[in-house]
Structure 1
């Protein structure tokens, strides 16, 4: 039986789903030493995984495929996996919570869809892992992923580790605000010179560069953690118009995409208030000049590949794994179609500025930090 029940265009998380939160990192636990010199153990960071099958305290009166639904601040996964080796002593395991295989709690949810008076959790909502008390041992939230493959986990592993290292001093792990440090804490100004200045600022900050590799739904709060910074634009790597027969304003969606929502679609954080300014504009130009004719019907996979290629070429300093970006796009959009429409086509729908490829390369270089030009 299908579990395809959606809130805001994203599948609702329930105990019957194939949901999992993969490779949340780092879950630092005290691990038995190789010599008696360190009797309390050695702190080792572990990737941590939670499974929907371990859902507890879910809904009672409303169910999906006969199983409970996950609710805000009530439900959780009763256990997690991956840190079993971190048990140096009965009293010293996780360095913060003192436990291993702890609970998984959700940190984001639908704002307007509720079950039994509580907000429901959806595909791509955020989690923290290895809880015993209120604070989780793994405190960097990563997307709740219902159907990511092992291949995607492998493709994204280096990007996940890079974000952890580059953003260690920034919230939510540290005390600093990355948006302030990168000069991206102000609102957007629709000016080419402003967009160029902010593009250079963003490309100069190691944490901002690393967080580009993690796509987030358009609607995420602009705090530099769950979503973009205030001075950035959440850019749909696959334009929202790709899912409509004519225009978004007319509102008629293509066959198979009735559950598509622009707010839930995966986006990259770019600079520029319009699709012709800053890195936002250059990314749109790449999409426009490297794709087929406007209106051509194409596969989701081909547009995901084009979008991922645009990220690696417009944001080379981020060094994102192209396959990781592609897989995030595919999985983030496939949750908005179902059943016989799993392979539904979309249209190539470019916008922005047209320019020669060599000119695009030159423009990308002008927005690089001074030491990288």
Structure 2
């Protein structure tokens, strides 16, 4: 059940919560036959791994939520996980030599503590199938309910979460398998020569357009990829398909006086005792197609952002209110997120939460990039993408 106790706008993880860390992938486990040559140790098979809040162990001793213990940094765990039961060969987990192992958080609230320890929350990252550190799976978000800034427990992302569940659950496939079926499972092309060598005669520009059309295609795997686009991810680790890039929704250059390379951050975003300062690797990103701000859905989003700034009369480099720029960036992201469409309210809520621990929401720089386009040109490109066929 939802316990309505929040830290930094997200529900605190506790034994009585209804939260799950679902389908963490890949949990690579050695699987029988374990005594048949030529695989005496078994066959390494990746499994999706799931943990339940009801399996909370070693939580808070005195402070309780709904009468039960609370998850705490580097102390608590979910005492078991499930999904890799078939991996019963001698060595079990590829890294940990375990199956059905413990689940630990690797992220937590920076400023809310219980019994002297940071609390774990909804959307904090976990690693699965532990014997000890490290875990056997990459980090995976913890899903429960989210509260918005004014303390209302209504979840602004409820519709987007349901869209993802409707599009993806029925496939009963791992994240990587869905990406592969959608035509987005191969590595990113790094240059024209790279793209040409891999069959894209038009170079990297053709590859970007192909990946964007694959993601826009009218099939169930691409629909799942589009639904997951609404869930923002950190730049590292990003959780995107291999052919996608994590694109900073608010450009990282918005937080620097001159350039990211120079490294001098604008006032209010350098960090102090209570705020970490702007960290590009942790900032909210959207999974998009294309490796730069030119071409593909990645480039289109930047062009839309630039157009919105021009229409609002905002000059490049002008200092603007954080909330104003946040709204403009969220709106441009929603324009590349169709069928299903991302809720702007949800994108804005994630952006606020993702940047909240970094600065005081002071002014930031309007920092557009990408090709300059008219609204008619933008609409023509979106129409072209939406008419995409099956993935190449």
Report the TM-score range of the alignment, normalised by the length of the smaller protein. Answer: 0.5 to 0.7
2:39 maps to what in 1? Answer: none
What's the counterpart of residue 344 of structure 1?
Answer: 362
Check the 8 A contact 1:170/1:177 in 2, yes or no. Answer: no
Give the Cα–Cα distance (whole angstroms) in 1 for the partners of residues 8 and 71 of structure 2.
10
Note if 1:304 corresponds to 2:321.
Answer: no
**Contact persistence 1:25–1:140 (CA under 8 A):** no
1:20 shift after superposition = 2.0
d(CA) in 1 for partners of 2:287 and 2:235?
A: 9
Deviation at 1:247, TM superposition (A): 0.3
Offset at residue 334 of structure 1 (A): 1.6
The answer for the alignment partner of 2:293 in structure 1 is: 275
Give 1:233 deviation, angstroms.
0.6
Contact kept? 2:318, 2:365, Cα under 8 Å: yes
> Which residue does 2:256 correspond to in 1?
244
Of 201, 220, 227, which residue of structure 1 is paired with 2:237? 220
Q: Give the alignment partner of residue 372 of structure 2, picking from 331, 354, 368.
A: 354
> Structure 1 residues 268, 143: CA separation in 2 closer, same or farther (over 3 Å shift)?
farther
- What does residue 162 of structure 2 align with? 161
- Deviation (angstroms), 1:210: 0.7
Q: Partners of 1:334 and 1:18 in 2: how far apart?
A: 10
Deviations 1:254-285, CA, capped at 9 Å, x for gaps: 11111110100000000011110100000000
Separation of aligned partners in 1, 2:119 and 2:358 = 17
Residue of 195, 202, 210 corresponding to 2:208:
195
1:331 to 2:353 alignment: yes
**Quick one: distance in 1 between partners of 2:366 and 2:258?**
12
Select 1:316's aligned residue among 338, 345, 356.
338
* Range with greater deviation from structure 2 (265-274 or 119-128): 119-128
> CA–CA distance in 2 between the matches of 1:143 and 1:228?
21
Change over 3 Å in CA distance of 1:361–1:240 after alignment to 2 = same
CA distance in 2, matches of 1:356, 1:202: 24
Given that residues 213 and 318 in structure 1 are in contact (C-alpha distance below 8 angstroms), is that contact kept between their aligned partners in structure 2?
no
- Superposition TM-score, scaled by structure 1 size: 0.63
CA contact (8 A) 2:163 2:340 kept: no
Distance of 1:308 and 1:212 partners within structure 2: 12
Q: Cα offset for 1:202?
A: 1.1
1:316 Cα offset (Å): 2.3
- Of 251, 262, 278, the residue aligned with 1:260 is 278
TM-score normalised to structure 2 length = 0.60
- C-alpha contact (below 8 Å) 2:124/2:142 kept by paired residues: no
CA offsets 1:304-350 (integer angstroms, 9 cap, x no match): 2112211222222231111111111112112212xxxx231101011
1:285 corresponds to 2:286: no
What 5-or-longer segments of structure 1 have no aligned partner? 1-14, 28-48, 59-67, 79-103, 111-118, 129-138, 222-226
Q: Cα offset for 1:248?
A: 0.4
- Conserved 8 A contact 1:25-1:164: no
- Once the 2 structures are TM-superposed, how far is the Cα of residue 154 of structure 1 from its aligned partner? 2.9
RMSD: 4.0
Match of 2:125 in 1: 126
- What is the distance in 1 between the residues matched to 2:169 and 2:7? 35
Q: 2: CA distance between counterparts of 1:123 and 1:243?
A: 27
Name the SS for the 2:381 alignment partner: helix
The whole-number CA distance in structure 1 between the counterparts of 2:377 and 2:293 is 17
**What does residue 33 of structure 1 align with?**
none
Aligned length: 274
| Contact 2:256/2:264 (8 A) holds in 1 | yes
CA distance in structure 2 between the aligned counterparts of 1:307 and 1:25, rounded to whole angstroms: 30
CA apart distance, 1:358: 0.9
Q: Deviations over 1:77-135 (max 9, x none)?
A: 89xxxxxxxxxxxxxxxxxxxxxxxxx9555449xxxxxxxx9978842369xxxxxxx
Measure the CA separation in 2 of the matches of 1:348 and 1:152: 32
Distance 2:325 2:57 in 1: 35
Per the TM alignment, residue 362 of structure 1 is displaced from its structure 2 partner at its CA by 0.7
Change (3 A) 1:188 1:18: closer
Q: Is the 8 A contact 1:125 1:144 kept in 2?
A: no
Go from structure 1 to structure 2 and tell me whether the alpha carbon gap of 1:219 and 1:176 turns closer, same or farther (over 3 Å shift). Answer: closer
C-alpha deviation, 1:145, in angstroms? 6.4
1:233 partner SS? strand
